[in-house]
Each structure stands twice: as C-alpha cells, then as structure tokens.
Structure 1
C-alpha cells in the first residue's frame, strides 16, 4: 500500500511493479492513492500496469470499509502450494524461494519428502538457534534489533542471520498484527533475513516452528534468532526449539515473590531487564539475580555473577546491551557459531551505565506537579476571596446596625471571627489596594 502526494507517481508505481516481477514477486498486490494528485488518465494507465489506485470518488463511493474489503479480496490468494517449493533454490539461499517455503511451512502443507530433505539439509550444518522471549511490551523486538546490529558490526558482516519473529493470532478475529518489523533498523543488505509469522491458533509457539527453523537452516544462514510473542509467567514453550534462550522483562514485575512464578527463569541462559532507565531497575536487577541463585541452587555464587543484564535498547550504543551481546556471543560460539575476535571492545559492566534521561526518574511527573501547584494556588485564592468577602459584608452590616438603635454585639463577634480567617498579609493587601490603584492611575 503506497500513498503518493508528491508527483512522480506514475514512474514510481510502474518501477515498483517491474521490480517485483523481476524479483519473482509478481503476485504481490500494489495498491495506491494520492487524493486528487493522481488524475483519471494516470489512474487508467496505472491500472493497466497492475496497480490498483483509489481515487477520491472511490473513497466517497466505497468508504474506508469498502476500500479495505476490496484490497483484502484482491489479496485473498492461496500461495501455499507445496509444488511451488524449490528445494534446490532454498538450499542455495534464494530469498524468494525461502519466503515461499516458509509460507508453505506456515500453512502446514509441506510434504513428508520436503520435510525430510529440509531436515537433512539443516542437520548437515551446525547452526545455533537463539530464542528471545519475554512479557509483552518488554522491548523484545528493539533488543533483537540491537543484538543483530552489534553482531554485524562486531563480525564485520561476515555472518548471515535469519530472524523469525512470531506474533499472536487473535482468537476472535483470526488476524495477527505482524508489527515487529517496524522496530528493526538493522535489516538492510543481504546478510539479514527477517520473516514475521503468526501463531495461527497456537498459544506461544506455532506448530510449524520446527519446519520454519529447518527452512532457514537449510538456506545456509549461520545463526537463527526466534522471537516469540509476549508470554505469561508460566510459559516456556520456546525452550525445546532453541539451543539457548534469552528472557526479556522490565523492572515492573511486582513484588519479588512474583519471580517465583516465572517459569523461564528456570530455563533462560540469560535474562535482560530492559528499559533499565526506569525507576526501580537496580532493585529489579538484584532481585532477579537472587532468584536465579535460588533456581539454580548456586548458593556459593553472588547474585551479581548470575547472567542477568540491565539493558536499554532505546539508548544508542548502550553498554548494557553490549555486555549482553558479548555474553550471548560466547554461548553461541560453543554451539558452532563461527565468530572471529570481533571489533567491539569488551565491556566490564553488567548493566547500562551511561543512561542520560531527558527527565530524571524522580521528575517524570514534573508537569503534573506544576499543574497541581497551580490548581492548589487557585483553590487557596478562591478560599481567601470568599473569606475576605465575608469580612466585607459583615463590616457593612455592623456599620448599618451601629447607625440605629439595634444591638450589633453579635455581629461584631462574627466579624472578629471572620477577620481571623483572613491572613494578615491578605488583609494588608486589601487595605492597601486603593493606594496601589491610585499610584498606577496618575500621570508619569
């Protein structure tokens, strides 16, 4: 889907369609719109080239739901044909063939023979698999991207990496938001292959995950990274599929007793407490370290020696992420990842040390505090105004009574009490107000 409002759309759309066909992806539907910029003659030309263009009139006639339905109907094409899987092309690493094989594997339509060939090809090479799992919103995708970036820089782009990112399928609607790609900034070039997949009814790991891993292994990648959807406390389904696992969490896990319920702390080779710039992160690092000591029955070791890292994937060149990468690099090297010495200097810390926040942790509510202060000032001013008004009314009443024969003693008592409710500085300001007005009203 392309939105074009700047001109040059005819050339761009035609080039896009031509490039897709040259890459063997002519089945990809191209849909575009540009308000009134794309005139009817150009719409006719682009539609003849295979591009669906929605004009303003289409928007008025169909509405947004109608246009969405038309796009979905055009894309409702079955591409999971096992006969279209070219195993030789997969083993040679052709991206289009790998993508098609993953699509067929995702649909569960690989034949037994194809599975056997792919599994044999995958088993012929020692390719480590790293599983990255954790709670929803913990920053798994951003951390995955930072780890891939460090691997590419450290090994000078000599390794080929395949990233399989799994997102949950909604039980009611049946759809899945494959949004992990938008967090990835290290996918350029031909050294990294990224594919988003949906669980398709499974809870955490799809049934076809082992087939998908075999496909990318057979394609010649040196490292496979599998990122799961957000998981709950008792989930550890990724463990059987991977050689090493990384559990990503945030400092906000509740009381330390909640750590007893996190199943992945028993299985994870490393734990990343991401978003380490948040309040309570250092306490979380300590508590998770203590929990891992208990889980591993490593009572002779310090919590600081456990593989728990404080990371901030959103911080550029975060040394906590670098420490985590270097720890994982050594683990993966033991499982066959052919690494060189590397260009990144060794870091000695286990958590982010150079975080510079725009706002300090204890000032994150500073705007709310300003608002509360101003509102409190206005509320107090209103109270004082009412008290001063009461004094003025009682003074007028007392003056009226004193001119006659009526007893004003009770009013004087009320007036004395009302004057006590008005602070002296406020009373002085009210008394001196006519003088202030006169000073500003005179000639300069």
Structure 2
C-alpha cells in the first residue's frame, strides 16, 4: 500500500498518481500466472482461479470444455437501455437471492461498453453493487472490446467457467442496448428487459424487440413523473405482442420498480416472478424459502420519499421567503409612517393634530403586534448589549458571557454592535431581516454568543497515515482548553 502526500500531488498531479496506482497493480497475483489447467466441478471457493480462467478466455488462451453438468444451472439475462438502472436492479435481485437461499451461490457477469475513441471501458457496474461482498457471490466485469456490441465475444466462455465452478445461479447483465438489440437471448434461459418511463411516445414501444421476447419486463425508476401511465402503455404493448387480450394487467410479467428504494414492493414482486419463470422454463427450484415481503401483485402504486403533492417543496420555500420579504416591506413602511406622524404631532404640540392622531390609530391597527413589540423593546435590547456581560438561559442554566474583549493593543472591542437607527421602519427592518445572534431569522448565528475556550485546532490533512495525523493533532492541540479539530483538505486528499 502507499499513501500519497501533498508533495506527491504537486509533483505528479492527480492524473499522475492515478496512473501510478494502475502501474503498480499490473502484476500476476500468483507469481506464475499459470491457470490454463482444466477446472474441476465445485471449485467455487477459488474465485481467483475463476477470475484468471475468464481472463485467459478473453485473451484466447483458454477454452472451457463443455462438460455434462450434474445439475441444471440457470442463466438469467438482464438487458435494457443505458441508464435504466440494470445494475441497481441486479444488486437488489442478488440481495434477495442470498437472503432467501442461505446455502446457494450466485455469479454475476456484467458487461460494459468499450469506447470507440479510446478503446477503454469504465466497468462501473460494480459501483452499484452492494450485496456482492458475501462469500457466496462472485462478480466479474467484462468489456465488450467492440463499440457496437452490447455483449463481449467471450460471454459464453465466462458462463461456462462459472457453471464449471459450481455456482447455482448465473446472472448475465448486458451493456446498454438500443431498440433492436436482442443478442442476450442466445446466452440465457430466462430474460428480463429493464426500461424507464422515459421512452418517448407510446409508438416507440412497437420498435423494442425485447418486448417480444423478454420473460419479465421491469419498468424501473417508477418514481418518475407519468410512470403509472407508462406502465399502462407497456402492459398494453405486451398484450398486443403476445396476443394476451384477456389477461389482467396485474397478471402480466410487467412490474414497476424503484430499485434505489430499500425493500421496494415492486422489486419484491419482480424477484418472485423471476423465480417462478426460472422454475417454469428450466425446472430449477432452489429448495429454499423465498423471503416474502408484504406486497401485492399490483405494482402500479408509487411509493416515494417526496409525495407528488410536495415535489415543488423547494419552490414553496422560495415563495415563502418572497412572501415574508413582502410582508417585511409592508410592515416597515407602516412603522416609518408611524414614526413620522408621531414626530409631526410632537412638533405641532397638539395644534390641528386630531387628523394626525386618527391616521396614527389607523396605522397602529395595521402594524403587526409582534412588530410593535420589537420596536417598543428596541431600547431595552440596546441596553442589554451595551453592558460588560450578556446573560441568557439554556434550559435551567443561566449562561453569563463577556460582551467585550481586548485587542493586542489594549483596545476594548464589543462583540456585538447594534445599528444606530432612529427611524422605526429601519429598526424594524433590521430586526426582521438580520437581528442579533440567537434571534430570528438567525443570520448572525443560532447562538447568542460564541463560547470562549472552544476554538478548534486548525490542522492540514494528508501528511502521512492516520497514526501520524492523530499524533500531529495531539501535538498542535497540546495545552488548548478544548480538544476540537478543524481539518483542511487539499483537492487530492479530499477526492
């Protein structure tokens, strides 16, 4: 292992360090690299050997012999458009399979497209896989090695190797496909097509070949807008393709799912339908108890984190702020008018002031009681912050903190300085829009004052490993009244 320091970052740059990691990983793990020997059944524990054999098959150095299997090992093919969530759906299927069949194993062969310009493949499907850490699960990513294909030329060899290794179930996940691609059907007994509600006009469904052949159709990202209508259209197309005019919608193998949602009812239903299809088409039962979860056959009901009626919640926040600002403007204008009228009455000394008093009474009725109290209490607020100490209560405890501190030159500086407004409108607007620390709208902080003696120790991260970082923190915080840390990260350390 190697920990890169900020000096390495300055010398090599981020791309240079990435290339260094790749270069250091290019070596044969077993020393000899000789994995061309035949494989015996039941070697599922030796996943490194499985990986090497698949690599050798990709490189043309190994061709697995077609052996007679002691048991039927089904292959589920998962295909669909790019970005439909195939990997997330695959991960959810793997999780439910491992939970339902405690003594069964599973292999996932995931294919990613190679770019025409660079020839490289991201192999990023495993980023979505959270359930493959189990020793009963194995995953292998393959590149198509060609830009116009959804599957690698060596998919069959990889499947044969996984079958020879003794895995009970194999999942083949293709790269993103177009409307006409159905190549996955040549490599699996049961197929599933994953799509999203965003397929365009309903007439586009006529062009999708996999809707003619897929055993199960998964309409993923069912929390999207118009998902229920899309499910209805896909089921209608499925009926037309398969001549199932009298079938009920909930009986069709078309399921709406939200794979990104934990324990999604749609994915639960999808898994059970897949197990039923595997049993129907291959005769294989995994001899375990399926982990049933509460759900119905009808997956047309959406369950989302943010209800449809609240999808505008960010706009609602903006609208609330705008309405509040308008209210502040209205109240401050009233307060300014009151200040001016009362000043006029004071100057006139009761001469012809009856009409002014009537206008004052009308404005006082319009001024919000809370705003009136803020204006009336302004003098007391100023007095509180002009003393040497400020007292506030936290639960049953009174906190007393100094309001001033002395600079290095001995000058006394106030921590909180209030504006010297006299106009009631200005006073009210400042309290409604800014205010002192610890008071609504909390623009100066949620606490009345910052506690002394709790300033964090500022430290730069990235110099060495955790032990060295910890020792450095103890060193720089030595003698400090509070052990609090504020860490700075450079871009290389952070990302």
Please indicate the TM-score interval, normalised by the length of the shorter structure: 0.5 to 0.7
Q: Which residue of 2 aligns with 1:73?
A: 23
Deviations 1:347-366 (A, max 9, x none): 66234478643311232222
1:170 has 2:115 as partner = yes
SS at match of 1:120: coil
What is the Cα deviation at residue 438 of structure 1?
Answer: 11
Partner Cα separation in structure 2 for residue 254 and residue 347 of structure 1: 33
* Gaps in structure 1 of 5+ consecutive residues: 1-29, 34-53, 383-427
**More off after superposition, 67-76 vs 317-326:** 67-76
Which of 11, 25, 37 is 1:86 aligned to?
37
**Are the equivalent residues in 2 in contact too, given 1:168–1:198 (CA < 8 A)?**
yes
How far, CA to CA, are the matches of 1:262 and 1:153 in structure 2? 34
Other-structure match for 1:17? none
Q: How does 1:132-171 map to 2 (within 5 A)?
A: 132-155=78-101, 157-171=102-116
SS of equivalent residue, structure 1 residue 317: coil
**Structure-2 separation of matches of 1:344 and 1:167:** 31
1:290 equivalent in alignment to 2:240: no
Q: Which of 172, 183, 196 is matched with 2:128 structurally?
A: 183
8 Å Cα contact 2:39-2:164 kept in structure 1: no
Q: Displacement of 1:296 after TM fit?
A: 0.9
Name which of 346, 353, 368 aligns with 2:315. Answer: 368
Q: Quick check: 2:268–2:295 contact (8 Å CA) kept in 1?
A: no
Instruction: Identify the match of residue 291 of structure 2 among 330, 339, 344.
Output: 344
**Inter-CA distance 283–354: structure 2 relative to 1 (3 Å threshold):** closer
Query: Contact 1:286–1:304 (CA<8 Å) still a contact in 2?
Result: no
Measured in 1, the distance between the counterparts of 2:21 and 2:324 equals 56
Residues 345-388 of structure 1: CA distance to partner in whole angstroms, max 9, x if unpaired? 37662344786433112322221344367569979999xxxxxx
Displacement after TM superposition at 1:432 (Å)? 5.1
Aligned residues: 346
Residues 166-224 of structure 1, C-alpha deviations (whole Å, 9 max, x = no match): 11112212222222222222223321111111111152011111111111011111111
Across the aligned residues of Structure 1 and Structure 2, the Cα RMSD in angstroms comes to 3.7
Cα drift, residue 302 of structure 1? 3.4
- More divergent stretch after superposition (64-73 vs 289-298): 64-73
Name the structure 2 match of 1:269. Answer: 215
For structure 2, which runs of at least 5 residues remain unmatched after alignment?
330-358, 381-495
> Residues 65 and 92 of structure 1: is their aligned pair in 2 closer, same or farther, counting only changes over 3 Å?
closer
Match of 2:273 in 1: 327
The equivalent position to 1:61 in structure 2, one of 5, 8, 11, is 11
More helix by share: 1
- Measured against aligned partners, the alpha-carbon deviations of 1:233-285 in whole angstroms (never above 9, x if no partner) come to 22212111111111111222222112112111111000111122232222121
Q: For residues 347 and 267 of structure 1, do their structure 2 counterparts lie closer, same or farther at Cα, with a shift above 3 Å needed? A: farther
Instruction: Decide whether aligned partners of structure 1 residues 376 and 237 sit closer, same or farther in structure 2, where only a CA change above 3 A counts.
Output: farther
